[in-house]
Amino acid sequence: MYNAQSWKNKSMRKDQLPKNEQRLLPKYPSEKTDGHKKSLQATPKPGKLHILPKDGKVARPYSVVNLHDMKNIKTKQLKHHEIITYLSEEIAKGGFQPGQRIPTEHELAKAFNASRPTIGKALRDLQKQGLIYRKQGAGSFVSAHEDEQLCKIGSLMGFCHDTADSGIFGSLLSEISHVCTLNNYSFVLTNYPAGDDEKILIRHAKRTCIELIKQQVDAVLFMPMDLSPENFHINHEIAVAIEDAGIVLVLLDRDIYKTPQRSKYDRVGANNELAAQVLTQHLIDQGCKKIDVVTCCKLPPSVEERIDGYQKAMIENGLNPKQEQFYKIDTHQWHSVEECLATTQADALLCINDEVAALIMRGLLAKGVKIPEETKIVGFDDLPISSYLPIPLTTVRQPVKDIAHEAFRTMITRREDPNMPAKDVLLTAQLIVRESCGASFKESRK
């Protein structure tokens, strides 16, 4: 060990000392000042505890402990223990449920008057104990009990894999999966291919329904199929099969019955009628008097609601719509688009979705019609392609994120109270104004 004698031995350089003694050499004060040997006696600084060797001959401190630091260390340890105790007890007594997000680090730091590092250490310790799990950018969540199985939610909707990422269904499924993950639920992604052959569509939908029942999912989010009137009852049969299996069912976007009938199942979606009413009123405000509607061959309940909103806006403005103002096209038959455009004399076309609007725009441009100067076009859904069309499309944006969150919340509520009356959760869609309606065009000409 280092002692006073080794320090006084001037013939021994520092690099000749053993390493364990070198690190104990004092860093201050310096040996010489103005050519004179500085006194070995160092005045202790306030607030510092100087620990001396047993012989007491060396006054220079080679080990210094800050009393204020000792107090801080003790305080941090107490805070750390207090935070862990509080969260552990709350989780144990059910104050925080499995899958529920606990307060953020900022909230805990404010509540306990503790530093963020202290909070972070407490949360890491809780994570090691398996009481919580942490997701980057999302927060910390209560882990499920070992004797509990994760709740499984299944999806039942038709879409094509090659267009899922760019369509409204792909966006909705992605958001639902995200919400389930955040709440520590398992999301079972099952789908059936959307297509024109109803027999194949129905067969795949029934098979998917059976798979979900076999997997014993706790809930199913079901978007009823676009079927012809003679086959529309299939949606009801699938819903009943899911209910009979004791599985919670929540409908997305539309009911299993045609308007004005109402099923006994919860439904979550956009307020299609109000959105179409706002869209139609916007065209009227642009000076349009003759507004025709272009739909697909099949009219699911959500599309019927959009037509109702259009009619309501027209009637309120004294523009009673006539039957000849409604057109149906087959999105896979170009001649049906040409027939529609050869007949209509409208100054604006309200298309029932963005896919139909894109086809109509293509047909009008092929005929040399100027958009929006001669004919205005609007759509519905706000698909990613809408802003990249030759004339950026005015449309209505589906509240996809809100639909996903509300569908999950409705499912939870229905599981807790199976006997409550069925409810419609209708969310407000946003009008997105672009050049195809003339509004942006007028502003640029001012």
**How far from 216 is each of 190, 210, 247, 329, CA to CA, in Å?**
13, 10, 8, 41
Residues 91 and 185 in one domain: no
Assess whether 264 and 164 both reside in one domain: yes
286/358 same-domain check: yes
**Within this chain, do residues 283 and 392 fall inside the same structural domain, yes or no?**
yes
Q: Does a structural domain hold residue 147?
A: no
Q: What pLDDT score was predicted for residue 295?
A: 95
Establish if 301 belongs to a structural domain. Answer: yes
Indicate which CATH number applies to the domain containing 175: 3.40.50.2300
Same-domain pairing of 103 and 225: no
Q: Look at residues 226, 245, 269 and tell me which one is the last residue of a structural domain.
A: 269
Residues 323 and 441 in one domain: yes
| Claim to verify: residue 371 and residue 303 sit in the same structural domain | yes
Number of domains in the chain: 4
The answer to whether residue 14 sits within a structural domain is yes
Q: Which pLDDT does position 167 carry in this prediction?
A: 62
Q: Tens-digit pLDDT profile for the chain (446 aa)?
A: 444 444 444 445 545 555 554 444 444 444 444 444 444 444 444 444 444 444 444 444 433 444 444 445 556 677 888 888 888 888 888 888 877 889 988 889 888 888 888 888 889 888 888 788 877 677 888 876 554 456 889 998 865 443 333 467 778 888 998 888 888 788 887 766 666 678 888 888 899 999 999 988 999 999 998 888 888 899 999 999 999 999 999 999 999 998 888 999 999 999 999 999 999 999 999 999 999 999 988 888 999 999 999 999 999 999 988 888 999 999 889 999 999 999 999 999 999 999 999 999 999 999 999 999 999 999 999 998 999 999 999 999 999 999 999 999 999 999 989 899 999 999 999 999 999 999 864 544 44
pLDDT of residue 85: 87
Return the pLDDT at 324.
84
Residue 284 and residue 362 share a domain = yes
On the CB side of 314, CA atoms within 13 Å amount to 20
CATH number for the domain harbouring residue 104 = 1.10.10.10
Is 59 part of a structural domain of the chain? no
Give the chain as a 3 state SS string: CCCHHHHHCCCCCHHHCCHHHHCCCCCCCCCEECCEECCCCCCCCCCEEECCCCCCCCCCCCCEEEHHHHHHHHHHHHHHHHHHHHHHHHHHCCCCCCCCECCCHHHHHHHHCCCHHHHHHHHHHHHHCCCEEEECCCEEEECCCCCCCCCEEEEEEECCCCCCCCCHHHHHHHHHHHHHHHCCCEEECCEECCCCCHHHHHHHHHHHHHHHHHCCCCEEEECCCCCCCCCCHHHHHHHHHHHHCCCEEEEECCCCCCCCCCCCCEEEEECHHHHHHHHHHHHHHCCCCCEEEEEECCCCHHHHHHHHHHHHHHHHCCCCCCHHHEEEECCCCHHHHHHHHHHCCCCEEEECCHHHHHHHHHHHHHCCCCCCCCCEEECCECCHHHHHCCCCCEEEECCHHHHHHHHHHHHHHHHHCCCCCCCEEEECCEEECCHHHCHHHHHHHC
For residue 187, give its domain range: 152-269
Q: Examine the domain organization and report whether 207 and 329 are in the same domain.
A: no
Give pLDDT, residue 32: 43
128/181 same-domain check? no
Q: Could you tell me if 234 and 324 lie in one domain? A: no
pLDDT at 200: 86
**Quick check: is 406 in a domain?**
no
405 within a domain of the structure (yes/no): no
Same domain, yes or no: 202 and 228: yes
